[in-house]
Amino acid sequence: MIGRGRWYRRHPLLLVGAAILALCLSLRPPASAGVPPDAAAGLAPLVTEAWPPATVVSDGRTAPYVPLVRAARAWRICALLPGTQDKFWWGVSWGLVREAERQGVVIGVYQAGGYDKLDVQKAQLDACRAMKADAYILAAITTDGLDGQAAAIADGGQPLIDLINGMGSPYVTGHILGNFQENARYGADYILEHRAAWEKAAGRPLKVGWLPGPKGTEWADAMEVGALAILRRAGVDVIHGGYGATALTTQMDLVRDLFDRAPDLDVVFGNAVAIQAAASYLRSRHGRGTHLVATYATDGMADLIRSGMVDLAVSDSPILQARIAVDLAVRVLEGKPHGVWNRITVEPLDQARLAGYDLSRIAVPEGDRFQLRPLPPAVPPTSVGATHPGS
C-alpha cells in the first residue's frame, strides 16, 4: 500500500482520473436500485401511507409532527448521505424515498462512501446543483465542511435541509436532528443505574470502554462530551477506544485493540457499529460478562437487544427524521409554515421497551437495501402540470 501510494504521487494525473471515476460511480445507481418508471420520467407515484406518530421540539415548542398530505407539484429534491457502511443510513435512505413517493415528489439519493470522503460529498452536491434541484437535503460528513456549497445554494434561492448530522452554516433553511447529548445521557445513566450490581459481580470498580465514532462529526463529538462528562463526574474508569468511521471493519479493529488493552472490560459503550462489532467479538470468545450499550439504534441493534447480547440502544427514529426532512423541504418550497430548528425526541430501548416499540422508526422492511438512485432530469412545467392537476 505504501509503494502504491508513492507511485500515485509520482503520477498525479492518474490520481485525478481515479478520483473522477470514483465520483461517477458514486453518482451512478446500482443495477438493482430499481428506479420506478415514473421517477425516471420526473414524476412520482401517489402513495398513501401513515406515519408512526413523532414528537418533535420545533423552535422550542413540543408537539406531534403533522406532515403534509401531498406536495402541490413534483418538486425535485437531492439528498446526500455519508455512506452505506452503517445500516443506520439504510433506514434514512429508505425513509427519504418512501416520503418522496408519498408526497408525490422526485428524489435523488447519493452516498459519498464514508466519513473520510468529504471531497466526494462536495462534488456530489455540486453535481446536484448543476442538475438544478429544487431543494437539497444534506446529512453532512462534517459540521462546517460544506459551508461554501451551503452559501451557493442560498444564493440560488433553494432550501437546504440539515438532516441528522448537524451543520453550523447560517445558510441552512431548516434542521431536523436528534438530541445527541440526550442519546449519550440515556446510555450513561443506564450504566450508572446498574453500576452497583455490575461492580458487585466483578468484585471491583467498573471499567467502561468508550467508542464514539468518527472524530469531527457533530453527532459523535456531542455524544462524547455528554457521555464522558456524566461517567467521569461519577468517578467511572473510562478507557477510550479511539475514533473511527462507522464501518464494521474499522470498528472491529478498534474493539480488538480496546480488549487487548483492557481484557476485563465490564461495559462497552459507543456507536451502534462498534457495539455490533463488540457483540461479534464477545460471541466468538464465548464472553457473556461484558455489557453492551449503544448510543443509537438500528434494526441490527434491535435484534441484538432481543437476543440479550446488547443491554440498551437509544433510538432517535432515523427513518422518521428522513421523512420529516422531505416534508420540511416541500413546506419551504411551497411557502408553508415550518420550524427552523426541529429535534425529534429520543427513546431508550431495552428488552422490555423494545416489545412495544414501532420498529418502522429504525428498521427497513426485510430484504430492502440502501435506496441509492439518481435525480432524474427536470421535465417541462407543462408536463408536471398535466400530471398533477392540483399544482
DSSP per-residue codes, 181-220: HHHHHHHHHHHHHTHHHHHHHHTS--EEEEE--STT-HHH
Q: Is 266 exposed, middle or buried (0-12, 13-18, 19+ CB in 10 A)?
A: buried
User: Is 50 exceeded by the pLDDT of residue 1?
Assistant: no
In this structure, the answer to whether residues 149 and 235 fall within a common structural domain is no
| pLDDT value at residue 380 | 67
Instruction: Note whether 247 and 165 are same-domain residues.
Output: no
Q: Can you point out the beta strands (E) in 229-346?
A: 237-240, 267-270, 291-294, 312-315, 341-344
Among the listed ranges 4-18, 155-169, 220-234, 334-348, which one has the minimum average pLDDT value? 4-18
Query: How confident is the model over 181-191, as pLDDT tens digits?
Result: 999 999 999 99
Would residue 14 count as lying in a domain? no
Does the pLDDT value for residue 42 go beyond 50? no
What is the chain's mean pLDDT, rounded?
86
Say which CATH number the domain at 285 has.
3.40.50.2300
CA distance linking residue 229 with residue 192, whole number of Å: 13
pLDDT in tens, 195-228: 999 999 999 999 999 999 999 888 999 999 999 9
Please give the helix or strand (H or E) that residue 309 lies within, else none. none
> Which segment of 27-31, 72-76, 328-332 scores lowest on mean pLDDT?
27-31
Query: Which residue's entry shows cell 476485563?
Result: 264
For the segment 329-353, the average pLDDT, to the nearest whole number, is: 97
Residue 89 in domain: yes
Range of the domain at 192: 180-315
Say whether both 134 and 44 belong to one domain.
yes
Alpha-carbon span 55 to 328, nearest angstrom: 15
Domains of the chain: total: 2
Same-domain pairing of 175 and 40: yes
- The pTM (predicted TM-score) of the whole model is 0.83
Count Cβ neighbours within 10 Å for each residue of 92-127 and write b for 16 or more, e otherwise. bbbbbbbbbbbbbbbbbbbbbbbbbbbebbbbbbeb
User: Which DSSP letter does residue 138 get?
Assistant: E
Give the whole-number percent of the chain exceeding pLDDT 70: 84
Q: How many residues does the chain have?
A: 391
Residue 4 lies in a domain: no
Q: Which region among 37-46, 175-184, 224-233, 375-384 has the lowest average model confidence (pLDDT)?
A: 37-46
pLDDT tens track for 79-100:
999 999 898 999 999 999 999 9
Give the separation between CA 355 and CA 57, rounded to whole angstroms. Answer: 26
CA–CA separation, 131 and 143 (whole Å): 25
